Amino acid sequence: MNAADDPRFERYLNLLAKWNAAYNLTAVRDPAQMRAQHLDDCLAAVGPLRRQLGDRARARLLDVGSGGGLPGVVLAICEPGWDVTCIDAVGKKAAFVRQVAGELALPNLHAAHGRVEAYREPPFDVITSRAFASLAEFIRVTKPLLKPSGVWMAMKGKRPDDELADLPPGVIAFHVEPLDVPGLNAERCLIWMHCK
C-alpha cells in the first residue's frame, strides 16, 4: 500500500476540517485543497527525511509551530518508529494534535503547548518547521533542543536565498532540496541545516 493511501490520512483530514470550523487551525477550508496544500505537501518531505535519517529507525523529532499537526502528524503516521512531538503556542492547536493521536491510535505522536523557547526536553535528532519563522529565528529558538549530531529540516516555498544568507554563525545549510508536490502548482523546498 502506498503511504498516501493509509486510511488514517483521510480520518486526519476529516478531523482537521471538523475542528477547523470551530478553532481556525488552517486558513484552507476546501477538503481537496487541504489534501494538496497540507497532506501532499507534508508527504513530499517523508522520503527525504527517511534518507537523511538512514538506518536510525528510532529517531526523536520536534515539529515547531505545528498548528494543526503539519508535518508532525503525517510523519508519525508514516513512520511508527519515529517519536514525534508537535509544539505550538496555541493551546487549542496542541489539544487538536492530542485528539488526533488518540483517535488515530498514534502512541508515537505527542503534543506540547507552549513557546519553544521555554520548552525543556532531551535534545532531538531532527527539528522541523513549516511556515514557522525565518531560518535564523527558527534556529535561534530551537538550537538548545537539537542534538549535536542533529539536523534542522525547514519546509519552505521558493528557495529563501535572503534567509540562507542570514544564517547564524556556526550553522550551515548543507542542502536545499526542491520538492515536487503532486497536484500543487507551487515551488516547495526543504532546507537542511546543521551546526558546523
Q: Report phi then psi at 117, rounded to 5.
A: -60, -30
pLDDT digit string (tens) for 35-76?
766 788 899 999 999 999 987 778 999 999 998 999 999 999
Written in H, E and C, the secondary structure of 125-171 is EEEEEECCCCHHHHHHHHHHHEEEEEEEEEEECCCCHHHHCCCCCCE
pLDDT digit string (tens) for 103-112?
999 999 999 9
Could you give the percent of the chain with pLDDT greater than 70? 92
Q: Sorting pLDDT into bands at 50, 70 and 90, what band is 1?
A: very low
Which pTM was predicted? 0.94
| Mean pLDDT along residues 70-91 | 96
pLDDT for residue 29 is more than 70: no
pLDDT for residue 27 is more than 80: no
Q: What's the CA gap between 83 and 179, in Å, rounded?
A: 24
| Mean pLDDT along residues 16-21 | 84
Domains of the chain with CATH codes: 3-195 (3.40.50.150)
The answer to whether 181 touches 190, Cβ cutoff 8 Å, is no
pLDDT digit string (tens) for 151-189?
999 999 999 999 999 999 999 999 999 998 877 788 999
Compute the mean pLDDT over every residue in the chain, rounded to the nearest whole number: 91
Q: Sorting pLDDT into bands at 50, 70 and 90, what band is 190?
A: very high
pLDDT score recorded for residue 5? 79
The answer to whether 84 touches 108, Cβ cutoff 8 Å, is yes
Q: Sorting pLDDT into bands at 50, 70 and 90, what band is 194?
A: very high
pLDDT score recorded for residue 165? 97
